[in-house]
Amino acid sequence: MLLSEDHPVDVVIYHNPECGTSRNTLAMIRNAGIEPHIVEYLKTPPARSLLLQLIVRAGLTPKQLLREKGTPLADLGLEDPSLSDGQLVDAMMAHPILINRPLVVTPLGVKLCRPSEAVLDILPTPQGGAFTKEDGERVIDAQGHRVI
The catalytic residue positions are 19
Q: Number of helices (H) and strands (E), helices first, in the chain?
A: 4, 8
The DSSP element (H or E) to which 86 belongs, if any, is: helix 85-94
Distance from C-alpha of 17 to C-alpha of 78, rounded to nearest angstrom: 25
Distance from C-alpha of 57 to C-alpha of 35, rounded to nearest angstrom: 22
Distance from C-alpha of 66 to C-alpha of 129, rounded to nearest angstrom: 33
7: three-class secondary structure by DSSP = strand
Say if residue 115 is preceded by a cis peptide, omega within 30 of 0.
yes
Q: Which of 58, 78, 57 is nearest to 67 (CA)?
A: 78
